[in-house]
Every structure is written in structure tokens, then in C-alpha cells.
Amino acid sequence: MTAPDAGDTEGRSGVLRVGVIGGDGRMGGVLRGLLAEDPRRTCARSFERGDGIDAAGIDVFVEFTDAAAVPTLAQTLRALGRPWVSGTTGLGEAGRQALREAAEHIAVLWSPNMSLGVAVLTRLLGEAARLLPPEWEMELFETHHTAKRDAPSGTALALAEGWTGIRTGELRHGRHGATGPRPQGEVGVHALRLPDVVGEHTIRLGGPKEMLELGHRAFDRAAFAQGALAAASWLSQRKAGLYTMSDWAEDRLRSRGSEA
């Protein structure tokens, strides 16, 4: 565990004091690197695997760890009473329930993808689902590196479920053999794995005589870390509850609208 970076004085000067959980991991290192150059936020503490976690000198926790650790971590952070941004993916029902229970006491923000671009993409897809006629259909392709453990990605599932939550239809994970005609409303979700791909999501919306394509491509994991830090600043001003990056985007839109 690293020592605090003059956390108390920086907190008083308006700099957000971030506690990085999983600081020895791949994303933890990216977060610490960004915070070292950030005039608005500082890495007040970095907690590594096996460290005890406390809230001294910390305004908000940011965490990219392992899905299996989330239920226990949720109990710890709930007791500490600080906002918590979680970028951990692959959560099962136990992990999601732990987030919901923690959010009854503290502000929690979790999304399967922390990038700002995907937050905007999610909103654009929602608008398309509301605006396009019923005969328009959706297919989704996601591509990630060969070491990714889950398929399809959590982001792909969230995007597809965002579409079916507004319209009717069921998800179909790939197709093979004599599948028969595609049922109306079915959403095909296709997972590709290739070397050195950070993350790519492509949505194709097809209607009579035309097609609309929406997508996002991450070139570096720093995109997810940047989004998590933006979320941390936003979450530090929120009351207890469970939030997503879509809530961040919606609030940004309202703020811009009030400034117009």
C-alpha cells in the first residue's frame, strides 16, 4: 500500500482524493499514471492485493479488480461510507446484488464499460430504438483480445439489452446450421477474438433499403480509466444510490441544456 500523497491538504484545496483499489493490477497502474498528471484529482492511496482498506484521506474509491472479490469488497466499502466507482466486469448475480445493497448506503457507480464514448453510444442507441420504425432490426458485433475470459462482452450485452428493453425481441448469441428465417425482433450478438484488440463494438441497424451503423473502438485501456475518473468526480457529489455511466451522460446533457 502506498503512502498518502498529502491527501488532507489537497482535499481542502478542492482536489479530489482518489483511493485506487487494485493499484497493482493492469488498470490500477493506468489509473495511477493518469492521476499523477491530473491537476483536479490525486491518488491519495493505492491499495494492492491483500492490503486492508481504510478511508483515511480519501474522497472516493475507484476499483478495477476481480468479479469474485466484489461481494466482500462491497461490504467493506459500504462500512467506510465513501462513494465507489467500480469498473470490474463479468459480474454474476451475487456481485450485482452486492452493488445494489451497498448502494442503499453509499453512492455506487458501475458500468460494464467506463469509456465516455460508450456512454454516448448507449444514449444514441436508445434514441435510435425509440425513433426507428418497428421493421428496423439490430445486429451487434464485438471484438476483443484473445485473453478475454467472457463472451459476449458485458458492454455488448448491455447495448443489446438496451435495445430490447425499448423494443421487443430476444438475444441470439451467434448462428450456426439450419437456423431457419430470422425472427422479427431477434438481436444477433456476435463475439470475435483477435490479438491485441482492446475493445470494439459495432451496431448495425437495418431497415427497408438502408442501414445505419454505430460503433466505438478503444485504442488504449486509458480510455476506460479516464471515464472512471470522470465518473469519480461526478459521483462524489451524488447521494446514495446505484448509478451507471448512462446517468453521468444524462446529467451532462441536462447541464448543457440548462446552459444554452
Q: Residue 137, Cβ neighbours under 10 Å: how many?
A: 21
CATH number at residue 239: 3.40.50.720
140-193 pLDDT tens trace: 999 999 999 889 999 999 999 999 999 988 999 998 899 899 999 999 999 999
- Nearest Cα neighbor of 65 from 77, 57, 80, 81 is 77
* 37: its cell numbers: 498528471
Residue ranges of the annotated binding site for NADP(+) are 49
Is 144 considered catalytic here?
A: yes
Q: Please give the Cα distance from 18 to 145 (Å, whole number).
A: 29
Q: Is residue 30 part of a domain?
A: yes
CATH number at residue 196: 3.30.360.10
Q: Is residue 141 part of a domain?
A: yes
Do residues 108 and 187 both lie within one domain? no
1-49 pLDDT tens trace: 443 333 333 444 689 999 999 999 999 999 999 999 999 999 999 999 8
Q: Is residue 1 part of a domain?
A: no
Instruction: Exactly one of 105, 148, 173, 190 is catalytic; name it.
Output: 148
Residue ranges of the annotated binding site for NAD(+) are 22-27, 87-89, 111-114
- Nearest Cα neighbor of 28 from 15, 1, 47, 41 is 47
Do residues 122 and 214 both lie within one domain? yes
Do residues 12 and 101 both lie within one domain? yes
Q: Is residue 167 part of a domain?
A: yes
Containing structural domain, residue 212: 116-218
Going through the chain in order, the beta strands assigned E by DSSP cover 16-21, 41-47, 60-63, 84-86, 107-110, 137-144, 171-173, 187-193, 199-207, 210-218, 241-243
The mean pLDDT of the chain is 92
Do residues 120 and 53 both lie within one domain? no
* Structural domains of the chain, count: 2
222-258 pLDDT tens trace: 999 999 999 999 999 999 999 999 999 999 888 876 5
Do residues 120 and 110 both lie within one domain? no
